[in-house]
Amino acid sequence: MSLDYRSPSAEELATALRTTYAAFGEEPKEDDIERWCGLMSSDRVLAAWDADRPVGVTASWPFELTIPGGTAKAAGVTWVGVLPSHRRRGVLRELMRRQLDDIHERGEPLAILWASESVIYGRFGYGIAAPATELNAERSAFEIRDDPGPRGSTRLVDAAEAAELFPPIYERVRRERPGMLSRSKEWWAQGRLADPEHWREGSGPKFYALLELDGEHAGYALYRIASKWEHGTPKGELRIVEALATSPEATAELWRFLFGIDLVARVKSETADPAWPLFVMVSDPRRLHLSVSDGLWLRVVDVASAFRVRTFQGEQVVLEVADELLPRNAGRWAVGPAPGPTDTDADVAVDVTDLASAYLGALSFEQLAAAGRARELRTGGIARATALFATPLPPWCPEGF
């Protein structure tokens, strides 16, 4: 099968997006085409063309990703799909390989994505990097332990006010939390704050709530309500799009507000914070019904640059990194105060896929070793690597893309 791999022209961009939707058995709305094509640069899209028709697509957003000690450029991989007529012919693998080369040439040391199917991306060097916590709580069971009573106030604002008030709160949280992404003004307007009717999936409009505590803007929530009644009793769902607060106290007050909304039986979120203090703040954590899914995946595109931009706390360790798809990453790497390639004997052997799970602090090297995903080559190497990559809080990405 002879295919041409190239970026679409500006005029072909909408066709490439329609191909991605078709790969998922869907069709985009016209406002989605306008929205996403307006944000996406055509040179960041790669398509496989069969004659004049795209049959496979991948693309990436240019993000700034918070990492331990700072930020790094990261390509947010998206629009990935191959038409059923061309699957299992190596199209996706070729798209992934070419895209990683392009990301490397752009000077972006990391690639990140949310996987449609969790079995796909490990073979391309992606590993689980920021697991997501899902919430499906019983509203009636919510109670804060030793509750001192409410503080502050929460008020609803419109989308225009939210566009002014929410981004500074988000930035305060983002700067301190590995796994979180930069957001442009356009991304806020066209993505996070937008509310087209077909995004609602049976729920009502998006609401915007601002928490004020001690005279400061301390948190916000985006949510919808899916109304439902059974035998005259409200059984609706509160569907949280995003809820962020700048302190544990603000977190408690924000969720007190959300669990206090009437006419709902369950409170749901697909991206709750894995370090959520409410798990130990509430009287009955079991009835929060928390579960963990894979969340954000990460691929180290340039090992040297990725180690150079991240900070490490502890004694230097030498890693023997394997990378089948990108051999330039393979070899021995000193990690710590003076990172770089080395001929020194390695302390730990790890595949680039599993290095991704340690990079932001999601999994320790001891956890990886216990799962057979890292191998100690010198006594104490696993413990030293764990200490070196440790972070105060687990990484978190509250937004898919």
Q: Are residues 27 and 63 both part of a single domain?
A: yes
Question: CA 355, 121, 395, 222: dihedral to nearest 10 degrees?
Answer: 170
How far is Cα 29 from Cα 26, in angstroms, rounded to an integer? 10
Average pLDDT value over all residues in the chain: 96
Q: Are residues 153 and 254 both part of a single domain?
A: yes
% of the chain residues with pLDDT over 90: 98
Q: Are residues 93 and 185 both part of a single domain?
A: no
Q: Are residues 198 and 163 both part of a single domain?
A: yes
* Strand order, beta sheet including 4-6: 4-6, 45-50, 53-67, 70-82, 110-114, 290-300, 127-138, 264-272, 236-245, 216-226, 207-213, 153-157
Q: What is the pTM of this model?
A: 0.95
The average pLDDT across 51-68 equals: 97
> In the chain, how many domains are there?
3
Q: Give the domain-ending residue among 108, 133, 158.
A: 108
With respect to residue 86, please indicate whether it lies within any of the assigned structural domains: yes
Paired strand residues for 388:
none
Q: Are residues 153 and 251 both part of a single domain?
A: yes
Contact between 293 and 150 under an 8 Å Cβ cutoff? The reply is no
Minimal CA–CA distance to 323: which of 347, 354, 369?
Answer: 354
Question: CA 99, 21, 127, 76: dihedral to nearest 10 degrees?
Answer: 60
Q: Are residues 253 and 220 both part of a single domain?
A: yes
Whether the pLDDT of residue 1 is over 90: the answer is: no
Angle (CA) 345-346-348 rounded to 5° is 160
Q: Are residues 56 and 166 both part of a single domain?
A: no
With respect to residue 265, please indicate whether it lies within any of the assigned structural domains: yes
Q: Are residues 307 and 266 both part of a single domain?
A: no
Q: Is 322 helix (H, G, I), strand (E, B) or coil?
A: strand
Q: Are residues 273 and 355 both part of a single domain?
A: no
With respect to residue 297, please indicate whether it lies within any of the assigned structural domains: no
Exposure of 233 by Cβ count < 10 A (0-12 exposed, 13-18 middle, 19+ buried)? Answer: exposed
pLDDT of 86 reads 96
Alpha helices in 63-220 (DSSP H): 91-105, 159-174, 185-187
With respect to residue 20, please indicate whether it lies within any of the assigned structural domains: yes
pLDDT tens digits for range 341-375: 999 999 999 999 999 999 999 999 999 999 999 99
Q: Which of 5, 21, 279, 401 is catalytic?
A: 401
278 band by pLDDT with thresholds 50, 70 and 90:
confident
With respect to residue 130, please indicate whether it lies within any of the assigned structural domains: no
Q: 21 lies in which domain range?
A: 4-108
How far is Cα 399 from Cα 268, in angstroms, rounded to an integer? 15
With respect to residue 134, please indicate whether it lies within any of the assigned structural domains: no
Q: Give the domain-ending residue among 283, 313, 346.
A: 283
The answer for residues whose C-beta is within 8 angstroms of residue 314's C-beta and 6 or more apart is 336, 384, 387, 388, 390
Q: Which of 121, 126, 170, 223 is catalytic?
A: 121
Minimal CA–CA distance to 75: which of 104, 95, 98, 46?
Answer: 104
pLDDT of 277 reads 85
63 is catalytic: no
pLDDT of 291 reads 96
How far is Cα 329 from Cα 323, in angstroms, rounded to an integer? 6
170 is catalytic: no
Contact between 364 and 300 under an 8 Å Cβ cutoff? The reply is no
Q: Are residues 323 and 270 both part of a single domain?
A: no
